[in-house]
Amino acid sequence: MPTDLTVEPTPIPGLLVVRLPVHEDARGWFRENWQREKMTALGLPDFEPVQNNVSFNHRRGATRGIHTEPWDKFVSVTGGRAFGAWVDMREGSSFGTTFTLELDEATAVFVPRGVGNSYQTLDDAVAYSYLVNEHWRPGLAYPALDLADPEVAIGWPIPLAEAEVSDKDRANPRLADAMRVRPRTTLVIGSRGQLGRALLAEFPDAVGVDLDELDVTDPAAVAAWPWHEHDTILNAAAYTAVDLAETPEGRVAAWAANAAAPAALARVADAHRLTLVHYSTEYVFDGTRSPHAEDEPVSPLGVYAQTKAAGDLAVATANRHYVLRTSWLIGDGHNFVRTMARLAGEGARPTVVDDQVGRLTFTDELARVTRHLLESAAAHGVYHVSNGGEPTSWADVAASVFELLGRDPADVGRVSTAQYVAGKAMSPRPLLSAFDLGKLQATGWTSEPAMRALRRYLTA
């Protein structure tokens, strides 16, 4: 019997063997069948089981078909022994891969969604137990596989002709004709915006929707969406008209898009065990200090800022969440750099504020950071993301654009924010916007310097 809890990989990706310490004496034995803290620390997914089932088998040779229910399982026996067999039914290079193992009181197996699961009892009176993370419901259809498929060639200890097998399981299709399980996809909400387009380029297999296809401010639309087809939500949708958010109509729209919608997505993420990535802004801070660390209390100034701060707090209630705060976003679309480039080409001499200081964030950088955090399984929570290098003012950025395009950087005039907004109906802006990037760097990410990315952006 094992004395230490261990988790072992198998040839089927995600299928894990768990060796369970068993404490035995004259009365019988005891084990911790599911111990979330210890097992997840060893690499077992935190799959959040919601139902525990037990299948009791009277006689040796009872054989259950290769079934691929749409949920994760944690299987074990609580009496006797069983021969377990698993077949990968997921689309991809591992389709058809098999693994077999004898299950006893010291062995359990984590079975990911899309892997067919079956067993054959090796003793009389075997109790086969399985935790699942979806509630069983009648009428559910899922792939199944012929136990005797010669291509899979499972070496059943008891020949199937001598085993107890249901008529239904004897009639299941062979691998060549079996339905493949499609992988869950990433959903990009707000896919037609600057960031949304960059996310789709970085996640080419993702499904992109805009608000005319999925209005996340509409509870009925959110409830009707097929969330079971996805494993990750990238929420790039937002109300970003900072000044219009101060109007009666804009205030309502901003609160709906930036606060209520993320709150709804957080509830969806927990209900369907999805990872929610939400994009926020430096506006959640009042800009009186720098650099901004993730644990700095939010202190929003205007309505737009207040709604984004509320959205951050709502998303943080989801079990699997990343809030990626970013600043001065530049991508494929209308933005400050494109405006300065146009003015440089037109021979204009713009005047730009020089006391708002921060860093540019290019959308391709933010999209790559998103992939990095997801694939590295970085700790959930808030991360500050921007390009690197020394902070600059908006006027500095404009002067760099002019210089890179062959204009004299001195053609960019400079003015304070107070002078610029005098007599205008504008929402307040934070003056100091630079982020502390230490938490992101600790995950293994090195941010490309903003000025290097600017040069690449203008010459692309």
Residues 48 and 171 in one domain: yes
Other CB atoms within 10 A of residue 425 CB: 9
Q: What is d(CA 438, CA 386) in angstroms, rounded to the nearest whole number?
A: 11
The answer to whether residue 238 sits within a structural domain is yes
Q: Which of 27-31, 56-60, 133-137, 397-401 comes out lowest in average pLDDT?
A: 133-137
Other CB atoms within 10 A of residue 415 CB: 15
Q: Examine the residue annotation and report whether 119 is marked as an active-site residue of this protein.
A: no
Catalytic residue among 119, 130, 304, 383: 130
User: Which residues are CB-neighbours of 410 under 8 A, at least 6 positions away?
Assistant: 399
Average pLDDT value for residue range 15-43:
93
Residues 146 and 226 in one domain: no
Q: Does a cis peptide bond (omega within 30 degrees of 0) precede residue 291?
A: yes
Residues 243 and 148 in one domain: no
pLDDT tier for residue 262 given thresholds of 50, 70 and 90: very high
Q: What is d(CA 253, CA 238) in angstroms, rounded to the nearest whole number?
A: 10
Predicted confidence (pLDDT) per residue in 210-239, tens digit: 988 998 888 889 889 999 899 999 999 999
pLDDT of residue 423 exceeding 90: no
Query: Position of tokens 């019997």?
Result: 1
Residues 223 and 125 in one domain: no
Other CB atoms within 10 A of residue 215 CB: 18
Other CB atoms within 10 A of residue 147 CB: 21
The answer to whether residue 118 sits within a structural domain is yes
pLDDT tier for residue 460 given thresholds of 50, 70 and 90: confident
**Residue with more model confidence, 135 or 197:** 197
Other CB atoms within 10 A of residue 379 CB: 11
Task: Give the bridge partners for 414, in sequence order.
Answer: 352
Residue 76 near residue 107, CB atoms below 8 Å: yes
Domain ranges, residue 10: 6-177
Q: What is d(CA 395, CA 354) in angstroms, rounded to the nearest whole number?
A: 5
What is the domain-level CATH number for residue 322? 3.40.50.720
Q: What is d(CA 323, CA 279) in angstroms, rounded to the nearest whole number?
A: 6
The terminus-to-terminus CA distance of the chain in angstroms comes to 62
Residue 440 near residue 376, CB atoms below 8 Å: no
Average pLDDT value for residue range 66-70:
93
Task: Give the bridge partners for 102, in sequence order.
Answer: 83
Entry field: residues in the chain: 460
| DSSP states of 393-422 | EHHHHHHHHHHHTTS-GGGSEEE-HHHHHT
Residue 435 near residue 365, CB atoms below 8 Å: no
Residues 100 and 156 in one domain: yes
The answer to whether residue 62 sits within a structural domain is yes
Residues 437 and 290 in one domain: yes
Residues 431 and 316 in one domain: yes
The tokens of 395 are what? 């006027």
Average pLDDT value for residue range 139-145:
86
Domain closes at, from 124, 153, 177? 177
Domain closes at, from 177, 207, 226? 177
Residues 322 and 453 in one domain: yes
The answer to whether residue 1 sits within a structural domain is no
Average pLDDT value for residue range 382-388:
97
Residues 128 and 161 in one domain: yes
Q: What is d(CA 143, CA 163) in angstroms, rounded to the nearest whole number?
A: 22
pLDDT tier for residue 2 given thresholds of 50, 70 and 90: low
Q: Among residues of the chain, what percentage have pLDDT more than 70?
A: 100
Domain closes at, from 132, 149, 177? 177
| Beta-carbon-side half-sphere exposure of residue 228 (alpha carbons within 13 Å) | 7
Q: Residue 456: in which H helix or E strand, if any?
A: helix 450-459
- What is the model's pLDDT at position 1? 65
Residues 169 and 201 in one domain: no
3-state helix, strand, coil in the chain (%, to 5): 30, 25, 45
Q: What is d(CA 172, CA 175) in angstroms, rounded to the nearest whole number?
A: 10
**What is the 8-class DSSP label of residue 257?**
I
List of E strands, 221-346: 230-235, 275-281, 321-326, 329-330
Q: Among residues of the chain, what percentage have pLDDT more than 90?
A: 88
The answer to whether residue 59 sits within a structural domain is yes
Q: Examine the residue annotation and report whether 67 is marked as an active-site residue of this protein.
A: yes
Other CB atoms within 10 A of residue 290 CB: 17
User: Average pLDDT over the chain, rounded to whole?
Assistant: 94
Q: What is d(CA 82, CA 55) in angstroms, rounded to the nearest whole number?
A: 12
Predicted confidence (pLDDT) per residue in 283-302, tens digit: 999 999 989 999 999 999 99
User: Which residues are CB-neighbours of 17 under 8 A, at least 6 positions away?
Assistant: 7, 8, 9, 10, 101, 107, 108, 109
- What is the model's pLDDT at position 134? 87
3-class DSSP state of 393? strand
Q: Which sign, positive or negative, has the C-alpha torsion 386, 387, 393, 399?
A: negative
User: Which residues are CB-neighbours of 423 under 8 A, at least 6 positions away?
Assistant: none
Q: Which of 31-35, 273-277, 421-425 comes out lowest in average pLDDT?
A: 421-425
Residues 144 and 50 in one domain: yes
User: Which residues are CB-neighbours of 202 under 8 A, at least 6 positions away?
Assistant: 364, 367, 368, 370, 371
What is the domain-level CATH number for residue 81? 2.60.120.10
Beta strands 413-415; 351-353: pairing state: parallel
Residues 146 and 17 in one domain: yes
Give how many domains the chain has, as a whole number: 2
